[in-house]
Amino acid sequence: RHTSTPVLLINMLAGSQFSFRLATVAWRPVGIAVCHRSLCSVATSASVIYQDGLPRFRIPLPSRGKACQFTMKPLTNTVSDLTASIRNEDRGVEQIIFYTSDGLRIAGSDSIESLLRRDFDVQLNDQRFAVTVPESPVVTHESVDQLADVKAMISQLHSALNTPEYQLAKEKELMQQLQDLQLQLEPMEAIRGQLAEKASRRTRILTWLSLSYMGVQFGVLARLTWWEYSWDIMEPVTYFVGYGTAIACYAYYVLTKQEYTFPAVWDREYLKKFYKDADKSSFNVEQYNELRQRINDVQSDLRRLRDPLMLGLPLQQEKLMKPQPEQQ
């Protein structure tokens, strides 16, 4: 096919006069041209070929009179992607529609894999081309699912063959770590026991002293009420004693930001004595807590590793059975 393109030739003549003449230059496409993301060649029909496992669409571009080759990914690209690629190559294409062989329009959201399952037609502006889809080794969703099943089976087989050895090696490693941590903790545990005993003894002494003080207070008030004075005189005294006790409890909350309860007071006095004696004896409480936490983590890993589900063993019957409530 030949096309003619007018070329304006300007010849300068003598003086300032110009003469114009129009000439036609015949243009003929030769060889293969490189397009944006595609390969172009002379063609009059649309087709699909497979190369390196990928579909390559050869679509004739109306404005250029050439066929451009577009490479698509079947599983990730859609018909809209192919349409956008064609428009990027030829701005003169205003309408691109894909039809099935029985005339149904194919949606742009359909994947390239779905498009290539059967023959289809493509309409570019007012031209319509029939495309025959050849047999190909294109990977489909079904083959991907089958490949995933094969991978899962191989993974299960690998676990069945290698899990016992791995579990034994891991258990041995955890046991070694546990022994090392216990050796490091043993001397600190002895010191902690002594400090805990001293703190507990001091807290018990304070508890008994508080009880003794309350008993003495009760006896003094009773003596003054029934023997020394009368209730009319002691009633205001007992009121102020009780109100003073309430003030002392509120002052404890203001200073410590804790409610005045007997367990909370016990814990506070115990910890105060423990940390005070720990500083005197150079006992590192943070190091001790870190070792205890690491031991707890290793013991938790051992329990999970020895769980019947991890070993592939059936659960014990007593673990499966829940205790039934007794009927009255």
Tell me, yes or no, whether 298 and 244 share the same domain.
Answer: yes
In the chain, % helix, strand, coil (3-state, to 5) comes to 55, 20, 25
* pLDDT attached to residue 302: 84
* pLDDT attached to residue 230: 83
pLDDT in tens, the chain (328 residues): 444 333 333 333 334 343 333 333 333 333 333 343 444 444 467 888 888 778 888 888 887 777 888 888 888 888 999 889 888 888 888 888 899 888 888 888 888 888 888 888 888 888 888 888 887 655 555 556 666 777 777 766 666 665 667 777 788 888 888 888 888 888 888 888 888 888 888 888 888 988 898 899 888 888 888 888 888 888 888 888 888 888 888 888 888 888 878 888 888 888 888 888 888 888 888 888 888 888 898 888 888 877 766 555 444 544 444 455 444 4
* pLDDT attached to residue 33: 34
117's enclosing H/E stretch is none
Tell me, yes or no, whether 110 and 161 share the same domain.
Answer: no
CATH number at residue 42: 3.10.20
Q: Does any domain span residue 328?
A: no
Residue 49: strand pairing partners: 56
Q: Does any domain span residue 236?
A: yes
* pLDDT attached to residue 24: 35
* pLDDT attached to residue 285: 84
**How is residue 186 written in tokens?**
């043993």
Q: Does any domain span residue 167?
A: yes
* pLDDT attached to residue 179: 86
Tell me, yes or no, whether 165 and 284 share the same domain.
Answer: yes
* pLDDT attached to residue 318: 41
Tell me, yes or no, whether 197 and 92 share the same domain.
Answer: no
Residue 40: strand pairing partners: 33, 68
Q: Does any domain span residue 267?
A: yes
* pLDDT attached to residue 10: 34
Tell me, yes or no, whether 105 and 185 share the same domain.
Answer: no
Tell me, yes or no, whether 40 and 181 share the same domain.
Answer: no
Tell me, yes or no, whether 245 and 300 share the same domain.
Answer: yes
> pTM of this prediction?
0.40
Tell me, yes or no, whether 46 and 110 share the same domain.
Answer: yes
What's the structural domain count of the chain?
Answer: 2
Tell me, yes or no, whether 72 and 175 share the same domain.
Answer: no
Domain that holds residue 63: 34-131
DSSP output for 197-246: HHHHHHHHHHHHHHHHHHHHHHHHHHHIIIIIS-HHHHHHHHHHHHHHHH
Tell me, yes or no, whether 306 and 193 share the same domain.
Answer: yes
* pLDDT attached to residue 322: 47
